[in-house]
Structure 1
Amino acid sequence: MTVRRDFQEPAPSRPDLVVGREEPFGSAREQLARGGSVLLHGPAGIGKSTVLRALAAEYAGTARTVLRCSATESESHLPFLALADLLGLVLDDVAGALPAAQRTALESALTGRESALQRDGLALRLAVLSALRALAADGPVLLVADDLQWLDPASAEILGFAARRLGDTPVRMLCAVRTEGPEYDRHLRTAPPDTLAVRLGPLTRAQTSALLDHRGYTGLPRSTVREIHRTSGGNPLFALELGRALAESPTPPRPGEPLPVPTSLRALVLSRLDMLSDEARRTLLVACVGARPTPALLHAAGRTDADAETAQAARLGLLATDPEGPAVRFAHPLISAALYAEAPAHERRAAHAALSTAASDPIERARHLALASTGTDPEVAARLAEAAALARDRGAPSVAASLGLLAARHTPPDGEPGPDGHRLQAAEDAITAGEVDLARDIAREVLTRAVAPAERVRAWMVVIEAAGQAIGEVDAAFPQALADAGDDPRLLALVHYQLAWRGLVVQGDFAQGREEAAHAAALAARAGDRRTELLALAFQAQAEILMGHPDAPATIQRALREPQDPRVACHHNGAGSARFRWLIMSDRLAEARSTVTALLREVQRRGMAESEVHYLRFLAETELRSGQCGRALALARESLTLARDAGIGEGAGAMQASLAEAAGGDVERALELGREAVGRAEEDGDAVYLSRALAALGHAQLVAGDARAAAGTLRRVRQLEAGAGITDPARGRWQGDLAEALVRIGEPAEAQEVVDVTRTHALRLGRESVLADLDRAEALVRAERGEHEAAIAQLTSVRDRLAKLGHALEEARTVFAMASLPVRRPAASYEEAAQQFRRCRALPWLRRVEAAAANGPAERSAAAPGGLPVACLEGLASMERQVAALVMEGATNREIAGRLFVSVKTVEATLTRVYRKLGIRSRVDLVRLAAGQGRR
């Protein structure tokens, strides 16, 4: 018999709908699959009930009986109420299995009837224990308890008594409890001794964005999502309420303004605010509008009793003590937001006016002056424009954009520059800051009314720039921009520079892109626009590098000549970036590293978010070529995280992260990221990154042992790059991988043809490391033909050349190839290869060496470790087969993680996929399945 009592809202239909909680959800479901119990804990609104409902829905089907209760604060004083919820509906089913005294005590507790035995505490405790055992005799029992903190003490004590004595009885408890910190120990007394405590923490900005999208609050600008995340503190309930308020609001907040706080959230904090005096509330209002409020600042703003008033607020839990200094810090950002939302407009202006003179920073003073003023005021607008320029110079383009919009609001229509001039500068600052949604909205607003050609073309450039890699989506902007530019060479240079990108990204035509860039550079030089000329020359150089054009070095030198524009010099599309690409393709790794490190440092100083994303990726690429796989992995992950947060360059970030994971992380993750990168490039119509994304996916497939898939993917890369006119093999370095995959699937003739064609270009361009990769692939072709001595000689040469060039990972791959040759005395051993891969922290390759050493010279990709039967593992990916086989051997998750050089969380996630693919639910089922296969 199964008892189900619905919660207040339906459970998600699939676990993947528990947005942002994949890791804790995976840990909890693994614990339940093992037959253990789980205690979810965290602050109010953090998502405990959502995760609990999803877990309960998933595991209710495996339980014979499901018992549920959900306590409330108002009922927590009623004794045995939770017991009544849990056991009331099954009392008749278990009563017959209980001794008379226990039955009477339980009936008395659950029904509230008077009885001589009602006060017999031991009988009641034993009755609950016996009832659970009786239910478990018919099959597993799942006990689900939400809001454990409101459980009546009598029920909590008795459940704890039973839980400590259940032993191996198949009773699992799934509970959730509200905790503000890590203090959950006392609640564990209600659960079995082996209960896993899982804390749910704040969501990241990317997870908050995904949650809002999932609940239908789509299309929010990233600056708004960022503010929702900041105001909510990563609390999903608070974030959804803020998202709902924005969706219902007829007018969205202006950039820089606080979010509207719905009544549902104000109620959480306003009751405590009501306990403050009016003057104390005004003091806190000044604190909440200040950028870095301190007692000294509050005194300077005229709040003479600030010390006593902030002390009172701290006692009420509104302020938190800052251990690192005297700053006045609110206990939660929502308190500050609710206080500001509740304050009358004249009190807000008064608070800003006080800080417009008290604040020490000129940027903050200008901002407060603007927010204290109403209507247009040329003097205020000028102060704001100066502050925006200062913020720009300090490397805070997001602040500059906000100040620019305030300047536009306070500029008279006939001002010079006009309001739209300030808006366009704000849009360009937003682009620099990575806030492309905001920039696009500003530019489109300007286009609705601007008539001046310069302003219109400038706005069109923002619209095109904001499209990023999806430039094909704004095709209609180009003819309109050309019409607005007329015959002005300066404006035409801007448009033709973007047309160069369009030719490259949309059509994949490097020759056309080069021609447009050269035309743009010439127009800009005629107009005296050095900034656009430098960008166009840098683009021309990039195209020539990838085409293998002989003019590339000369074009780079032209782009590096003085005078330089400081922002272009460090921009990811500037000459510095072109020089980095030339250096790394020419195997000058040390120079490439120092160049990109200096560029990264400069864009971080300037707050150039998109350039930072790119340079982190470039530095990861450099470290990967040098064999520093651990550092490359960390940099690639950081770049991808920043890209996801800002919504820029995600496809390129996924591509580089895939390569880094395949070299130093998790191959399954590398495959996922490779597929993501391909999908994004195809969705955006991005011909430039599609071939690179496919190359990354093909490499991951080769590392995973799927040579046939790798060959198919990399053949597509070859076709795309031939059509685009890309002849420099150092661009993606996929040709050696394609040849190796072809050898492994029995196509040595095609592999040799790939080597021969690529070698011609590599020799012409002097690409030494590519030539070494090709020679390694050719040695595999020779080995396949039985020319083992020639193969050994060629691999020995390759190893020495790669060592001299500093390509440590490729050197280790070459040693591995030497050790794998089917000869009596191989030129290298698996142990040598393993040592080199360990030095590189190339964990996926190290696992391949260990598998090869265990299985002999020829890798047996279908075999599982330990010689276990593998028929039941068909259809699983490489990592999934390894993990499943180790589970069959009896290894724990921690032991598996240690043996495979991955995290425990990766093992748990992999096991979850294994269970789903095999149609089972636990480790026990996996072992049984293997045992059944072995008997066949």
Structure 2
Amino acid sequence: MEGRADRNAEGLPAGAPLVGRRTALRVLDQALDASFGGSFRFLALSGDPGAGKTRLLGELAAAAGARSLPVLAGRAAEFEQQMPFGALVDALDDRLERSRPALNPATARLLSTVFPALAGAAHSPASDAGVQGPAPGGAAPGEPAADAEPLGVARYHLHRAVRHLLEELASDNGLMLLLDDVHWADDASIELLGYLVRHPPRARVLIGVAYRPAQASARLATLVDIAGEHGVSVTADPFTREEVEQFLGPEVSRSRCQALYEASGGNPFYLEALARRPGGRDGAEPSPAEEAVAEPWGALPDLGEITELPPAVRTALRVELSGLHETALLVARAAAVAADEFEPALAAAGAEIAEDRALAALDDLAARDVVRPASAGRFRFRHPLVRHVVYGSAAAGWRLGAHARIARHLGDLGAPATLRAHHVERSAGYGDQQAIATLVEAARTVAPQAPATAAHWLKAALRLMPEDPDPAEAGLDTGEDGGRPPHVRLLAELAHAQTVSGQLVEGQETARTLLRLLPPDDHARRARAVQMCAVIERQLQRHQQARALVLDELHRIPDPQAPAAVLLRTRLVADRLMRLDIRGAQAVLDRMPENAPGWEPGLRVAVASLRVMPAYGAGRVDDAIALAEAADAVYAESPDGHIAEALDHVPWLGWAEVMLGRYDHARRRLERCIAIARSTGQVPYITYLLNAQARLYTLLGRLAEAADAAEEATETARLVRSGETLVFGLTQQCLVATWQGDHDRALRLGEEAVAGDLGAGEWWGAMARFALGVALVNSGRAEEGAVAALEACGDPTAPQLDPSTLLCCAEMLAQVEAAREKDGEPGRWAEIAEMLGGIGGSADAGMVRLAQAHAARPSDPAAAASLAAEGGRLLLSAGRRLEAGRAELAAGLAYQAAGERDPARERLRAAAELFEWCGARALLAQTVREQRRLGVRVASPRRGGRGDEPFGLSPREYEIATLVAEGCTNQQVAEKLFLSVRTVETHLSRVFGKLGVSSRVGVVTVLNGRPGDRDS
């Protein structure tokens, strides 16, 4: 708040010049220049309360407006910190209501769960009430929104949808999104910002956030660092003494300026508040009578959490408010209770007065600059600190009643539970069944997008809930679990919400509380609760505690073959498999039947899923295949609901089938189980499934699909804040990136995966080190990569990697040693590969031939060429296109070394086709270079990096053109890129112009490197 008292509707000084801030303005201009030039920028503006952050954002917005760059601005609110995406809704919803962007139905449906303007009606009860928040989506009481995705799963897809929304809004002229007071934003908003800085919108977008560093979460404070080269940091510093004089103007004496400077510390808001006091601008000190006006306020509650307000500023604000008429002060307090941006009707309801009286009071408040007009007939306080002071000036009992009156008013308007919950939470009493139902309904509605908020409201409901409430009165549907006490069911929901929102410690405490409430002889429910506790313990890196918890509960079950005991043993098997303790896992499995009377259907699925990996790990491939086929039969007769009960163990079957080379079976099973996990919201398990899918797609050479699966797995793990699943995801992202040829990114991902030595002694930790080794070798740092790979393998008598990965490692080390021409070493690794590959199918046999080719090439290139060519045929027959391409490249190089140019050309041509199909850019470029050395005329490989697109196409245009060249229809392109068909058509028309073609056939021709056939 800088400048004189005369303000415009946006809360900025009306024509007042900005004081100081030259350094900050220069940084802001540079960020704006970069964004205007086509680069994404993330701007973090920090400063103490009242330091002038909002004014600096206003200056940035004005500069953007001067360049015709659209600006959308919103802010978070202190007393609505649990409202999901509040600042984003404040910024975008009015724009979306005025003009809806063209979005495909799936994206629009997902975004409608956050933005009321996309939910259907132009005006909802929420907007009529003057409060913004998530759209109800037509949900029935006590049920989630109609089209909401399940708990925790929707967040990643929602984040992608918001990114595509920003790209759509910025597609023509760019976009500046400014979010103020983000230190008050909910966790869901910070998660979204984190996603956007890691995966920037591919458009001219600048996102600016302002926050108080002392109140900012660690995740918020590190966003600018995560943004890397796209991040810009600015600080709003206090005024100097000279700037204070300029701010106050020549009518204030120098002695008074000095006194105000010392009292305010140069803080613009404090300075303005002190200058507003009677006599503040003409230099006269307030009289004792004027100081005494503030005395009656001394008996009221303190101003709350903002203790940094100096006493002089507090007094100044109290004096300002004490001059208000009684009704105006009452309406101001009701408005402070109501919302950050409020309608007069809401303030009138809180104050218990007629709306016409409230309007007259608001006129008085606006004239005194306590509140200011906002959009659509609403009002806002001139500064969040003023609202804070007004809220704190009201007695606690009166505030409680005001919250209750506003909640009733919203209920009469038909506002959704998500808007009423904030007021219900602050006004309901113990045992209030209607309040409990409202809080539970609100929690279930926002759970998919904002599980942290859901957890907050579930905790509030549990605090109000008596020991044995009537489920019907509380609005709690008993469902299939009707015999379970309502508070026990809510504890299970709370533990799940806390877990998927990353509150792992709190989730573990809730799960243990749930376990204590269950009777000692309720073995079935206790086993499920223990299983949940054990999973959370693993996410917290407490592997020993997880195992001890399971063993302790097992000892409490009298019958070791009881279904509850078998369920707990499956958890022990999974734990041993993580450590590649194959014998230990098999020993536990040997004590369990395949099926038994009394088993729940999901238990049979779990046991069948776990039996394959120990057999494969022990080298009993025939047994493993037989067990996998038996699992096929179990899955075929099991509905999705039964498989959903076993998702803790299903990933092991998927991973085993990938390692066995049963790729089609693995693909179908993983696709089905991922869909089940999404539909049931089982986030702790979906990451393992997605990583198995990413590994499968990488092996098959479907690198773009592998990248998508690995990205979703990693981003979901970041949301859950699980170190284990994050390493899983980073490992697969590293492998995909290195084979795509993005070596710098692969190294960053690999180094992040091994940082902190998470997973030491476990399979997934060794996989991370293996991935980093591959990335190092592919980036040209072969010796470092060989060391990392050897460390990953572990002791030969107790390997830390599975046989399939060990074979890949042996082949790579044979290649490295052959290049180093180290006598005997390539042959030794080829022998190890032959030993490992002897237990597998054609894919493993192909990898063995490739390793043997590496070993033979230094001494007998003709034999090496024959071996590599055979390996390529075997790998291609198994569907391993990427490795088949590598074998074809090795064969071409060996033929070339042997002086056989024609076979070399043929093998290199085959390799180039495979690498282009896979999207392996670096290997394709290497192959093209070798072809040219042999005299083959070949077009340069297509480039696909951001900012490096050919033909003058933008990144989005090149992306669309590539999909068209691959044969996708406009509808398919729209679905893949979360765009509307109309937007695809618009971009495609620009592609036609830049390529000089008039049809989709022309696009295919040009991108396939035959420019002479344009417009064909």
Q: Give me the TM-score of the superposition, normalised by structure 1.
A: 0.56
Aligned mates of 1:298, 1:510 — CA distance in 2: 70
Contact 2:191 2:719 in 1 (8 A): no
- For 2:64, the aligned partner's letter is E
SS in structure 2 opposite 1:352?
A: helix
Q: Give yes or no for the alignment of 1:674 onto 2:742.
A: no
CA distance in 1, matches of 2:653, 2:215: 49
Aligned residue type for 1:513: A
SS at match of 1:729: helix
Out of 402, 406, 410, the residue aligned to residue 464 of structure 2 is: 410
The aligned amino acid for 2:856 is R
Residue in structure 2 matching 1:237, options 188, 211, 226: 211
Q: Is the counterpart of residue 535 in structure 1 residue 629 in structure 2? A: no
Structure 2 residue 179 is matched with structure 1 residue 179:
no
Q: 2: distance between equivalents of 1:332 and 1:492?
A: 63
- Distance verdict in 2 for CA 1:815–1:587, change over 3 Å: same
SS of the residue aligned with 2:583?
helix
Match of 2:817 in 1: 742
Q: CA deviation at 1:894?
A: 11
Q: Is the 8 A contact 2:843 2:875 kept in 1?
A: yes
Instruction: Find the aligned partners of 1:700 and 1:346 in 2 and give their Cα distance.
Output: 62
Secondary structure at the aligned position of 2:808 is classed as coil
How far off its partner does 1:542 sit?
4.0
**Structural mapping, 1:272-283, within 5 Å:** 279=331, 282=334
Q: Does 1:844 align with 2:844?
A: no
Contact kept in structure 1, 2:336 and 2:388, CA below 8 Å? no
Amino acid at match of 2:466: P
Deviation of the 1:731 alpha carbon:
7.9
1:456, 1:408 → 2: CA distance? 20
- Letter in structure 2 aligned against 1:465: V
1:654 is aligned to 730
Match of 1:622 in 2: 696
Distance in 2 between residues matched to 1:330 and 1:582, nearest whole Å: 59
Question: What is aligned with 2:790?
Answer: 715
Cα distance in 2 for partners of 1:332, 1:753 equals 76
Mapped partners of 1:840, 1:515: distance in 2: 41
Alignment check: 8 A CA contact 1:447 1:459 kept: yes
Percent identity of the aligned residues? 17
1:800 aligns with 2:873: yes
Aligned with 1:443 (options 511, 517, 522): 511
Query: Structure 1 residues 228 and 700 mapped into 2: Cα distance closer, same or farther (>3 Å)?
Result: closer
2:534 alignment partner AA: I
C-alpha separation in 2, matches of 1:360 and 1:673: 45
Q: Which residue of 2 aligns with 1:423?
A: 491
Decide whether the 8 Å contact of 1:571 with 1:611 is kept in 2.
no
State the match for 2:942 in structure 1.
none
User: Match for residue 134 of structure 2?
Assistant: none
Number of the residue aligned with 2:151 = none
The whole-number CA distance in structure 2 between the counterparts of 1:329 and 1:541 is 64
Moved more, 333-342 or 507-516: 333-342
Equivalent in the alignment of 2:133: none
In the superposition, relative to structure 1, how do residues 818 and 457 fare at CA in structure 2: closer, same or farther (>3 Å)?
closer
Question: How many angstroms apart in 1 are the aligned matches of 2:353 and 2:665?
Answer: 56
Distance in 1 separating the partners of 2:898 and 2:535? 57
How many Å apart are 1:370 and its aligned residue? 6.1
Partner of 2:587: 515
1:502 lines up with 2:502 in the alignment? no
1:46 counterpart SS class: strand
The answer to whether structure 1 residue 636 and structure 2 residue 679 are counterparts is: no
Measure the CA separation in 2 of the matches of 1:629 and 1:329: 52
CA deviation map 1:103-142 (0-9, x unaligned)? xxxxxxxxxxxxxxxxxxxxxxxxxxxxxxxxxxxxxxxx
Q: Distance in 2 between matches of 1:674 and 1:541?
A: 29
CA–CA separation in structure 2 for the residues paired with 1:539 and 1:337: 58
TM-superposed deviation, 1:652: 0.6
What does residue 102 of structure 1 align with? Answer: none
CA change 1:246–1:824 in 2 (3 A) is closer
Q: Contact conserved, 2:793 with 2:799, CA < 8 A, in 1? A: no
Structure 1 residue matching 2:211: 3-state secondary structure: helix
Query: 1:510 offset after TM fit, Å?
Result: 2.1
Unpaired segments ≥5 residues, structure 2:
1-19, 68-87, 92-154, 157-183, 195-206, 222-303, 470-483, 936-944, 956-1016
8 Å CA contact 2:774–2:785 kept in 1: the answer is yes
Q: Is the 8 A contact 2:605 2:646 kept in 1?
A: no
**Are residues 388 and 644 of structure 1, via their aligned partners in 2, closer, same or farther at CA, if it must alter by over 3 Å?**
closer
8 Å CA contact 1:721–1:727 kept in 2: the answer is no
TM-aligned CA deviation for residue 775 of structure 1: 0.7
Counterparts in 2 of 1:587 and 1:480: CA distance versus 1, 3 Å: closer
- Quick one: distance in 2 between partners of 1:517 and 1:341? 62
Distance 1:148 1:426 in 2: 37
- Decide which of 891, 899, 903 is 1:818's aligned counterpart: 891
Which of 335, 349, 364 does residue 404 from structure 2 map onto? 349
| Structure 1 residues without counterparts, runs of 5 or longer | 1-7, 12-23, 32-38, 50-71, 74-146, 151-175, 187-200, 207-221, 248-259, 858-892, 904-936
Please report how far the alpha carbon of residue 530 of structure 1 lies from its aligned counterpart in structure 2 after TM superposition: 4.0
Higher RCO structure, 1 or 2 (CA under 8 Å, sep 6+):
2
The equivalent position to 2:533 in structure 1, one of 463, 468, 474, is 463
What CA RMSD, in Å, does the superposition of the two structures yield over aligned residues? 6.1
Q: Aligned pairs, how many?
A: 661
**Which residue identity does 1:608 align to in structure 2?**
Q
SS at match of 2:611: helix
Please report the TM-score for the alignment, with normalisation by the length of structure 2. Answer: 0.52
TM-superposed deviation, 1:792 = 1.9
- Indicate how the Cα distance of structure 1 residues 846 and 527 shifts in structure 2: closer, same or farther if over 3 A, else same: same
Offset of residue 896 of structure 1:
9.6
> Aligned partners of 1:711 and 1:687: how far apart in 2?
20
Residue 651 of structure 1 and its aligned partner are, at CA, apart by 0.8
1:193-251 deviation per Cα after TM superposition (whole angstroms, max 9, x unaligned): xxxxxxxx99xx99xxxxxxxxxxxxxxx99855766899984633641449999xxxx
Q: How big is the shift at 1:482?
A: 4.0
Per-residue CA distance 1:300-354 (angstroms, 9 max, x = gap): 9999969999999999778567xxxx9x999999899969976823322333344
